[in-house]
Amino acid sequence: MPVYDLHCHSTHSDGSLSVSELLHRACEQEVDVLAITDHDCVAGLPEANELIAREKLPIELINGVEISCRWHSFEIHIVGLNIDDEEAQLKALLSEQQQRRYDRFDAMLEKLYQRGVSLSAEDCLAEGMPTRKHIADAMVRKGTVSKPQQAFDRYIGKGNSAYVNPEWCDIPEAINAIHSAGGKAVLAHPHGYKMSNKWLRKLLVEGKDWGLDAMEVSLCQQSPGHRDALAKMSQEYGLFASQGSDFHYPGNWRELGKNLCLPADCVPIWEHWAQ
C-alpha cells in the first residue's frame, strides 16, 4: 500500500527544511506520494519537480498549496492538491495573500517595537512567506522568550498585545482559485481550529455548498477516536478523505508519513484526482 503524505511545509513558508531536504527526508521515511503545501506560496514546486527528475528520487510529487481564509472569527486553512501552479487565477490570489502576509508581518513588528521588543525583518530569517512562527523563533534567539510558544502566549497569539487580525480571502474565493487551477480543495486539520462540533458541522455544510471536495481525516497527531469521528463526517457530508502530517520540522510528534492511514469506509482523494 503506497504511503501518501499530502500536507507538509518547506522553508518557502514556515517549514525548517529546504525543498531538497524535505524530499530526501520523505524518501528516507518511505513516503511514496508527497504534496508540498506551503502557506499561500507555490515557489518550491518547480524546484521540487526538477530535483525529483534530476536525481530520480523514488517519490511522486503532488503540486499543492495551503491557503489561509477568514470565516466568521476563525482562520481556516484550505489545501489545494494536484494544482497547476502556473494558472493565472490562482497566481493572482496567492499574490494578494502574500502582500497581506507582508503587511501583517510588518504591523506585528511595529506593535512589538511599541512594547519594547525590537526585531527587524532580517532578525526573523523568513526566507519565504513570513509567518508568526518566524517572529516567535526570532524572539527566542533574542532572549525575549525562552521558547516559541511563550511568544504566542504573551505577545503574538490572538488576543495579545502584538497580535494583528489577518485579512485573508474568504473560503469560496480560495476554493474557486483551486478549482480554476484544476485542483481539489481540502479542509485542513478540521480539529485544529478550537471550534465546537456544531461550528465544524456548519463549516462542512457551507464548504460543501461552496464546492469543497475533501477534508483531512488522517493526521499523525490524533487519537483513533478523532480519526474515526472525522471519517464519519467525511462520509456524512459526501467529502473525499485526505491525509497529511502537516510536517514543519523534524521531531517526535509530526513526522513525514507517520501514522497516516484512512479508515476502510473513507473514499481517498487520490483515487479521484481527475473527477
Q: Does residue 125 surpass a pLDDT of 80?
A: no
| One domain, residues 53 and 175 | yes
Q: Does residue 54 surpass a pLDDT of 80?
A: yes
- The rounded percent of the chain whose pLDDT value lies above 90 is 90
For residue 49, being part of any structural domain is answered with: yes
Helical pair 171-180 and 88-114, crossing angle rounded to 10 deg: 140
Bridge partner residues of 62 (DSSP): 35
Query: In the predicted model, what is the mean pLDDT of the chain?
Result: 95
| One domain, residues 85 and 172 | yes
pLDDT by residue (tens digit) across 11-24?
A: 999 999 999 999 99
For residue 163, being part of any structural domain is answered with: no
Q: What is the CATH number of the domain that holds 256?
A: 3.20.20.140
Which region among 128-142, 156-170, 182-196, 233-247 has the lowest average model confidence (pLDDT)?
A: 128-142
What pLDDT is attached to residue 126?
A: 67
- The rounded percent of the chain whose pLDDT value lies above 70 is 99
Number of domains into which the chain is organized: 2
| One domain, residues 189 and 74 | yes
| One domain, residues 70 and 199 | yes
What pLDDT is attached to residue 208?
A: 98
| Residue closest to 220 by CA, chosen among 256, 181, 193 | 256
The whole-number average pLDDT for the span 153-166 is 95
| One domain, residues 186 and 216 | yes
| One domain, residues 180 and 83 | yes
Q: Does residue 221 surpass a pLDDT of 90?
A: no
Q: Domain residues for 140?
A: 103-156
| Residue closest to 62 by CA, chosen among 111, 26, 106 | 26
For residue 267, being part of any structural domain is answered with: yes
What pLDDT is attached to residue 275?
A: 66
pLDDT by residue (tens digit) across 163-189?
A: 999 999 999 999 999 999 999 999 999
| One domain, residues 49 and 79 | yes
| One domain, residues 8 and 53 | yes
Identify the residue whose cell numbers are 467525511: 234
Q: Please state whether 143 falls in left (phi above 0), alpha (psi between -120 and 50) or beta.
A: left
24-54: buried (b, 16+ CB within 10 Å) or exposed (e) per residue? bbbbebebebbbbbbbbbbbbbebbeebbee
Identify the residue whose cell numbers are 499543492: 64
| One domain, residues 57 and 117 | no
CA dihedral over 143, 146, 150, 154, signed as positive or negative: negative
DSSP 267: -
pLDDT by residue (tens digit) across 186-207?
A: 999 999 998 999 999 999 999 9
CA distance 117 to 112: 5
What pLDDT is attached to residue 127?
A: 72
For residue 161, being part of any structural domain is answered with: no
